[in-house]
Chain A
């Protein structure tokens, strides 16, 4: 509804306020008058009227505005199905490159996702008034600088879409591994919204490989979500998850998309490669069946595309499964200069050191990872792993039931280069 109103009146604030007023009116009147036969249409009509009232109040003396308004008033009602088109316009406006990445993400969640200001503030660990200012400033810039409310032209679309995908992936990641210690560790509302919006973009650009790749990636990660947090609220690494809890329908859809991209013969971008990695994981009935050589090969491909240390870290975790923890540790240690402030680096090191029986060093690494972890379920997981250290001295014995891998947490988050805002990049690792 906000999208429809924005399209009509070209003003995000006005659209939001009018929508809110319409809902308030509904709450007041429906209990007494009964729910109208078509509640959606009722709300839209009411919101339209409220918006027009507002403009009239604000521009009483402005004849020109009134003329423009009269023109608007005679507009034929939007044809059915135009709603999707309007949501897309709204996404492209919110994700405009003239806005800072943080502003884009916040604005998309607010205007397209319909999240409240406190929810967004919590999701990004900023004060509510600071988040409010960020959104207010972005809206003011859209209005004053006249950032257009439209889907970009065909020639600009590819460049603009990659910016939108980055925002949607950030939204998804925040839902998949919420960064705050006080929020739920998993936020299905955010992951669902990100998937829904990515589907919309895919409807717009069905032949774009990266759009398909991102959708597949999200579906294959989302498919595991029931297995990802234990009843005790502890994050369960991929290798220890009950694969029976995975969502078969989502996996099938994700695999279908990955196959579609492979069949295209076009060189894949990073989302497609990440999706393919997740497809390999979700193809294995048991963790022991995982085709690690294929995963490492895919990471090699990804490293060529994006030589960031975070990708290299994720690759090293896969290397540990293929060539052993010692080889992987040597790789991970070389990344220390750039990743020393990054919790997944310490968590990966801790796990490799644990598997090599170097308990003392492992303990130190776990401590550092726990210090840097934000997600409550991850903190619980890391703490238990740390506290289990010292049960064995000397090289860890591989007994049945003992965790083999499970370096960090399950999630290919904003892996790599996608800007994550200043706070963090990504949660990696299989």
Chain B
């Protein structure tokens, strides 16, 4: 069972050096324990491009698909046997990156 753990940013601050170091430690632990599938940081909404190619030609829009104060700034994909394990890992992740996280199951 895989879970997406999204990191929610509510300011424009990027991860500090100490946050980044804590994330690295957490990632290594995830790999060692066999929970790691993938992870990454993302550019902010300013870096986003929305495109819609359902019509005759693709339409590009500069910016995110929805303007919000909170946005996803990174994520983990974890392999975990059930939600309890996923939530426990997510709690550690939240501590490591010093941000809120959202947990969702892959269907």
Chain B stretch 81-107: residues in CB contact (< 8 A) with chain A: 81-84, 86-87, 103-105, 107
Query: In the assembled complex, how far is the CB of residue A148 from the closest CB belonging to chain B, in whole angstroms?
Result: 4
Chain A stretch 82-97: residues in CB contact (< 8 A) with chain B: 96-97
Q: Give the interface segment out of A139-147, A326-334, A379-387.
A: A139-147
Distance A328 CA – B81 CA, assembled complex (angstroms):
55
Q: Which residue from chain B places its CB closest to the CB of A143 in the assembled complex?
A: B105
Distance A144 CA – B1 CA, assembled complex (angstroms):
10
Among B1, B3, B84, contact of A152 (Cβ-Cβ < 8 Å): B84
Distance A148 CA – B80 CA, assembled complex (angstroms):
12
Q: Is the CB of A98 within 8 A of B87?
A: yes
Query: In the assembled complex, how far is the CB of residue A285 from the closest CB belonging to chain B, in whole angstroms?
Result: 50
26 A-B residue pairs with CB within 8 Å: A96-B83, A97-B87, A98-B83, A98-B87, A144-B105, A144-B107, A145-B3, A145-B83, A145-B86, A145-B103, A145-B104, A145-B105, A146-B1, A146-B81, A146-B82, A146-B83, A146-B105, A147-B82, A147-B83, A147-B84, A148-B81, A148-B82, A148-B83, A148-B84, A152-B84, A156-B84
B86: chain A residues within 8 A (beta carbon): 145
Distance A145 CA – B86 CA, assembled complex (angstroms):
9
Most buried by A among B81, B82, B107: B82
The bracket for how many chain B residues form the interface is 10 to 19
* Chain A window 142-166, contacts with chain B (Cβ cutoff 8 Å), 1 for yes, 0 for no: 0011111000100010000000000
Other contacts beyond A145-B83, A146-B1: 12, CB < 8 A? A96-B83, A98-B87, A144-B105, A145-B3, A145-B104, A146-B81, A146-B105, A147-B82, A147-B84, A148-B81, A148-B83, A148-B84
Query: In the assembled complex, how far is the CB of residue A102 from the closest CB belonging to chain B, in whole angstroms?
Result: 19
B residues adjacent to A (C-beta < 8 A): 1, 3, 81-84, 86-87, 103-105, 107
Q: Is the interface of A mostly helix, strand, loop or mixed?
A: loop
A residues adjacent to B (C-beta < 8 A): 96-98, 144-148, 152, 156
A98: chain B residues within 8 A (beta carbon): 83, 87
Q: Which residue from chain A places its CB closest to the CB of B3 in the assembled complex?
A: A145
Distance A156 CA – B87 CA, assembled complex (angstroms):
12
B3: chain A residues within 8 A (beta carbon): 145
A96: chain B residues within 8 A (beta carbon): 83
Query: In the assembled complex, how far is the CB of residue B3 from the closest CB belonging to chain A, in whole angstroms?
Result: 8
Distance A171 CA – B95 CA, assembled complex (angstroms):
35
Distance A146 CA – B83 CA, assembled complex (angstroms):
6
B82: chain A residues within 8 A (beta carbon): 146-148
B105: chain A residues within 8 A (beta carbon): 144-146
Query: In the assembled complex, how far is the CB of residue B31 from the closest CB belonging to chain A, in whole angstroms?
Result: 22
Q: Which residue from chain B places its CB closest to the CB of A96 in the assembled complex?
A: B83
Query: In the assembled complex, how far is the CB of residue A155 from the closest CB belonging to chain B, in whole angstroms?
Result: 10
B83: chain A residues within 8 A (beta carbon): 96, 98, 145-148
Q: Which residue from chain B places its CB closest to the CB of A153 in the assembled complex?
A: B84
B81: chain A residues within 8 A (beta carbon): 146, 148
Query: In the assembled complex, how far is the CB of residue A111 from the closest CB belonging to chain B, in whole angstroms?
Result: 17
A156: chain B residues within 8 A (beta carbon): 84
Query: In the assembled complex, how far is the CB of residue A342 from the closest CB belonging to chain B, in whole angstroms?
Result: 32
Q: Which residue from chain A places its CB closest to the CB of B82 in the assembled complex?
A: A148
Q: Closest 6 interchain pairs by CB? A: A148-B82, A145-B105, A146-B82, A145-B83, A147-B83, A144-B105
A97: chain B residues within 8 A (beta carbon): 87
A152: chain B residues within 8 A (beta carbon): 84
Query: In the assembled complex, how far is the CB of residue B20 from the closest CB belonging to chain A, in whole angstroms?
Result: 29
Distance A98 CA – B82 CA, assembled complex (angstroms):
12
Most buried by A among B1, B84, B86: B84
Q: Which residue from chain A places its CB closest to the CB of B87 in the assembled complex?
A: A98
Query: In the assembled complex, how far is the CB of residue B93 from the closest CB belonging to chain A, in whole angstroms?
Result: 16
Query: In the assembled complex, how far is the CB of residue B46 from the closest CB belonging to chain A, in whole angstroms?
Result: 32
Distance A96 CA – B84 CA, assembled complex (angstroms):
9
Q: Which residue from chain A places its CB closest to the CB of B104 in the assembled complex?
A: A145
Distance A144 CA – B103 CA, assembled complex (angstroms):
12
Query: In the assembled complex, how far is the CB of residue A174 from the closest CB belonging to chain B, in whole angstroms?
Result: 28
Distance A152 CA – B86 CA, assembled complex (angstroms):
14
